[in-house]
Structure formats: structure tokens, C-alpha cells
Amino acid sequence: MNDLPNGWKLVTLKELGLLINGDRGKNYPSKNVFTEAGVPFINAGHLVDGLIDFSQMNYIPEGRFNLLCGGKVQTNDLLYCIRGSLGKIAIVKSIENGAIASSLVIIRAFESCNHKYLYYSLVSPFGQDEISKHDNGSAQPNLSAANLGKYLIPVAPLNEQRRIVAKLDRLFAHSRRTREELEHIPKLIKRYKQAVLAAACRGDLTEDWRIKQKLEESWESTTLAEVIVDKPKNGYSAKPVQYETPFRVLTLTATTSGKFNPEHYKYFEETADIGENFWLQPNDILIQRGNTIEYVGVAAIYDGLPNQFIFPDLMIRVRAKPIVLNQFLHMVLSCEKSRQYLRDRATGTAGSMPKINQPTLISLPIELPTIEEQKEIVRRVEKMFKSIESIEEQYQQARQLCDRLEQATLAKAFRGELVPQDPNDEPASVLLERICAEKQQPVVSTGKKSRRKTA
């Protein structure tokens, strides 16, 4: 930003608006005062794609809101995350009342400053660079309002700001529609995979193979109990430590995708309670016995090294008998019919984690073909999945391309290259003088909102 376009100025964020913390005193709302309706109490999790998501909003009574001494939002305020997900930001739209949690700061642009221009500058590559300059560098990413106020913002002439915002709005509207269309793809892929698994587990997928092999019906109705070695085994939730040791326990996220991910684990110290049965061996099948209802029952094949990990108490391990291929059993466990069977039988009180137990798991019905047909099913399913996964890769590449195009467009905008410059535009220096004069005006109360008196 050393070579600013003519008429532009580089200034700090605090020169362009007020930075307002939430009330962090004795009146700060705790969870026990949240209500089903009332005044929105907004935290970082409610900031989604530049707007406030009200679908999971917390609310506080109006009486508690009136006690707060700060952090009350107005329309066109920017809400900026200063803890955890630094730089997450949203614009307040048509909100009557609202308050922010301590993880946020309100950026209230002065009336002479275009709040949407300020928003775009903060999400641009230049705004993102400011985060790394001012983050305190601790284990928990953290900023203060004072640090936020030191962010450098390239300020264009006001008319040029309006042209930049209008152009970015149009371009990002196209980008948003593209993203919406792209988001249909994962759902279609998931539906396709489930259709393939359903056909595989019913025998439809290999019906032509059986005819060609001149086989009569050769599927046997059985249960999981009859196709696994011994009883299922619950894991061990070893107490994690914050330093590296030779001992690792998996976390639930290691298998939530349906495939084993060796990057999700915690270290623990060896204890006498850890028997050899807790250490995973190649081809063990791990099933999540406890999680959200969406993930309870998810299965994955462990394909790591022997004795490298133990598995946690919220997982169950099973080992297949020779009458069933590991890959086929994993497909059966992953098909929607089996998943629904387990979800329907999950237990748990309201507000607690749904769980399945070993008796429920081993009662799972299974239709079992011959080993030869299992091999053909696995071959066909893996071939079909490989084709659809290439589409999934293209989807991920398209999403990344959208991200790169948006950031390139924002960078271009704040280099002064996105819209034509007009030498007749009032330079930013005059705008800044007007903002400075505005800051000197006394605050006039207007009921719900307070604003500075302007000439």
C-alpha cells in the first residue's frame, strides 16, 4: 500500500469510526438468563457470510439488555470477531435492538464514511494482513479494540468508494449464486453414494453377475453378531496431556467422515489400565457409539500401523470373521438402512449425547452373500465411488477458485484498479477533514439511537 492512487489516503480504522466493546462487567449475560425470545445476544458463531445468522440465536430479556452499559448494536454497524476466529465479520441489517458478546467489537462508521466500503476493506487481503500484524500471538488468537483501531485502511474519495461498493456488490452477487449452485453437488454426491450402497447391500448391483455365474439366490439373512469375532469392544478414554508422548488416543473426528484420518488424536501417558485389546490393528472397524444423531453409528476401517493408536470410549471396535470381507462389512454399516436402524435405537435424554450400546449394534440385520460376490460388490462399488470422487475433487477446486477470485477482486479494488477514477472526485483528504469535524460534534440523543449533530 505504499503507492496509493491519486486522491487516496492511508489512515487508521479508529479515524473512520467508533470501536465499541461489549459490556464485560457484572451485567454480562450468562447462559442461565438466555430466553427463547427477547433481545438478540450475538456471538462470533452467529456471524455467517457477512451477515447475522438468527437460526441459532441466543436471546436475553429486555430488562437485562437495558442494564448493559455498552455493546448495543445499530443498523449498519460492523461486528468484528477479536477472539478465536479473528477477522470474522458481519454487517447489522435492520435490527431494532441487539447486544454483542465479549468475543466481538462493534465498528460504527462515522456518517461521512461508507460502512460497506469499510466492510470490504476489512475482508480484503489488506484487511487480512492487518490481523497478523496485530494478533497477540498467543495460543488463543486474540485482539483488543485498541489494536483493531490501529488497522491501516486505504481510503478512496467518497464517490469512488460508492463506485467500488456498487461494483463489488454486483460481482459478489454473481459469486454468491455460483456458490449456491456448487453447494448442490455434495448433496447429490452423498445421495448417489447412498443409492450405490443400497443397491450393493440388496444384491441389485450384482444381479447381472449372479446370472452370468448361473448362481441361484445365495444371500443369507443374519446379524452383525454372527459375522464378527468375539464381542464388540468399547474403547478407553485416556486422559490427554498437552505434550508429546509415544501414546496416542483417537478423537471422534478421526472417523466422522467414514474414513480413518490419522491426524485426529491426542497424546496420553501410559497407564496400567491400557490392555493390548485397546491398541488398534489394521482392518479393525471402528463404529461411533456416541455422537450427535447425525454421526452416531458412523463406521470406518482402521488402515494405520499396528499398535499406533488406542480408540476412545465413544467408539466400538469390531473385527470381521473370514466369512465377510472388511470392505463389504464397512459398506453394510455405512448404507442408509443400517445407519437409520442404529439412529432409531440410539438412547439418551433430552440435551444428552445419543448413544448406541453393544446389544443394539450386534442385532443389526445383515444380508450376506458369498465371499466371491462380496469381492465383486466391493470391486464395483469402489470403481463407482472413484468416478464420483473425481467430481468431488472438481467441486473442491471450484470452491477454491471462487475464494481466490473474490480475494483477487478485493485486492484489485483496494489498489484502485477495479473502477475508473475521476479526477473531479473530491479527494479523500477532504472527506477525512469532514469526518474529523464530525467527531468534534456533540452527541445528540434521539431516543433509541444517539448520533452526532451535523451541520
Average pLDDT over all residues of the chain: 91
The answer to the question of residue 407 being in a domain is no
Distance of CA 113 to the CA centre of its chain: 32
CATH number for the domain that contains residue 352: 3.90.220.20
Write b or e for each residue in 267-300: b if 16 or more Cβ atoms lie within 10 A of its Cβ, otherwise e.
Answer: ebeeeeebeeebbbeeebbbbbbbbeeebbbbbb
- Quick check: 446 pLDDT over 50? no
pLDDT tier, 271 (very low <50, low <70, confident <90, very high otherwise): confident
48 in a structural domain: yes
Note whether 122 and 26 are same-domain residues: yes
Q: Which run of H or E residues covers position 247?
A: strand 247-250
**Cβ contacts of 447 within 8 Å, gap of 6 or more:** none
Of 145, 64, 48, 119, residue with least CA distance to 97: 64
Does a structural domain hold residue 325? yes
Same domain, yes or no: 298 and 435: no
Q: Does position 422 have pLDDT exceeding 80, yes or no?
A: yes
pLDDT, tens digit, for every residue of 219-230? Answer: 999 999 999 998
Q: Are residues 328 and 232 in the same domain?
A: yes
Query: What is the per-residue pLDDT for 274?
Result: 79
Place of cell 485397546: 278
Confidence of residue 295 (pLDDT cuts 50, 70, 90): very high
User: What is the distance between the alpha carbons of residues 79 and 97, in angstroms, rounded to a whole number?
Assistant: 14
350 vs 91, residue with greater confidence: 91
Confidence at 314, pLDDT banded by 50, 70, 90 = very high
Domain end call among 330, 352, 368: 368
Residue 420 covered by a domain: no
Range name among 111-125, 275-289, 434-448 with the lowest pLDDT average: 434-448
pLDDT (mean) for 181-195 = 94
pLDDT of the residue at 305:
95
Q: Which amino acid is at 232?
A: P
Give the domain-ending residue among 325, 347, 368: 368
Q: Are residues 227 and 355 in the same domain?
A: yes
Query: Do 358 and 434 reside in the same domain of the chain?
Result: no
Residues 439 and 454: their CA atoms lie apart, in Å, by 10
Nearest-angstrom CA–CA distance, 356 and 341? 11
Number of separate domains in the chain? 2
CA distance 155 to 45: 30
Residues 234 and 321 grouped into a single domain:
yes
447 pLDDT band, cuts 50/70/90, is very low
Name the pLDDT band for 372 (thresholds 50, 70, 90).
Answer: very high
The pLDDT value recorded for residue 455 is 32
**DSSP reduced 3-state for 132:** helix
Q: Is residue 213 part of a domain?
A: no
Q: Under a CB-based contact definition with an 8 Å cutoff, are residues 115 and 91 in contact?
A: yes
- Categorize the per-residue pLDDT at 357 as very low, low, confident or very high, splitting at 50, 70 and 90: very high
Give dist(CA 220, CA 356) in Å, integer: 25
Residue 444: pLDDT over 80: no
Domain end (from 368, 383, 401): 368
In a domain, 103, yes or no: yes
Are 364 and 434 within one domain? no
Read off the pLDDT of residues 60-94 as tens digits, 9 standing for 90 and up.
Answer: 999 999 999 999 999 999 999 998 889 999 999 98
Assess whether pLDDT exceeds 50 at residue 454: no
Specify if 410 maps to a domain.
no
Q: Are residues 305 and 438 in the same domain?
A: no
Q: Which domain holds residue 146?
A: 9-157+426-452
Are residue 138 and residue 238 in the same domain, yes or no? no
Claim to verify: residue 227 and residue 139 sit in the same structural domain: no
Does one domain contain both 119 and 227?
Answer: no
Is there a domain that residue 254 lies in? Answer: yes
238 and 345 belong to one structural domain: yes
